[in-house]
Chains A and B, each alone.
Chain A
Amino acid sequence: EIVMTQSPATLSVSPGERATLSCRASQSVSSSLAWYQQKPGQAPRLLIYGASARATGIPARFSGSGSGTEFTLTIRSLQSEDFAVYYCQQYNNWWTFGQGTKVEIK
């Protein structure tokens, strides 16, 4: 099983600032990496797939990068609606999720 490790567990950011979230795979997943946003009481929402492609309707302030074992989700100029939990997910070998990063208001 491929283990996904996200850091940090919690990120405190002021509105308007940049947030950088990391995700590491225990073995190469190529570019088979997705990012999701989840708010309390809601299902996950796909943000990024293929490590860097934005899903339909996702604002340009969300960007993904990386390949192999190291990945980054960057949220440029955080808006109030962006405070949530973010999960990475590999799909190179079925599905595995990271444990999540909570982005909270500083």
Chain B
Amino acid sequence: QVQLVQSGAEVKKPGASVKVSCKASGYTFTNYGISWVRQAPGQGLEWMGWTYNGNTNYAQKFQGRVTMTTDTSTSTAYMELRSLRSDDTAVYYCARDDTGFGVYWGQGTLVTVSS
């Protein structure tokens, strides 16, 4: 069965970087893109960007601060966010992009930014 398993919770200081991983299994990794979505505490869902076989597209809000990559040898996607601020505190999700929508989602990774 399709699974996306994300890395564990992180606590970072303002100005630091965080790299979240998303390991896929149960399907051919190179056949689907991965989108990243975040959710601040008590807030809605916010799309951050997408990656597929080396191609990327980032939401304008995150351009210059985010990098999304994949490692096809391990079927793992990564999302790195730099220059962290307190308002980057959120749960970060990866989702398999099934021609535009997310059927399969990771369990989420809580990133807390605090001094």
Q: Which residues of A contact B (CB under 8 A)?
A: 1, 32, 34, 36, 38, 43-46, 49, 55-56, 87, 89, 91-92, 94-100
Chain B positions near chain A (C-beta within 8 angstroms):
35, 37, 44-47, 50, 57, 59-60, 93, 95, 98-103, 105-108
* Shortest Cβ distance from A41 into B: residue: B108
The answer on a CB contact under 8 Å between B59 and A94 is yes
| Contact sample, A vs B, 27 pairs, CB 8 Å cutoff | A1-B60, A32-B100, A34-B100, A34-B101, A43-B105, A43-B106, A44-B37, A44-B102, A44-B105, A46-B101, A46-B103, A49-B98, A49-B100, A49-B101, A55-B103, A91-B99, A94-B47, A94-B50, A94-B59, A95-B100, A97-B37, A97-B44, A97-B46, A97-B47, A98-B44, A99-B44, A100-B44
- When A and B form their complex, what is the total count of cross-chain residue pairs whose Cβ atoms lie within 8 Å? 56
**Which residues of B have CB within 8 Å of A91?**
99-101
Set of chain B residues within 8 Å of A99, measured between Cβ atoms: 44
Chain B residues whose CB sits within 8 angstroms of the CB of A56 once the complex forms: 103
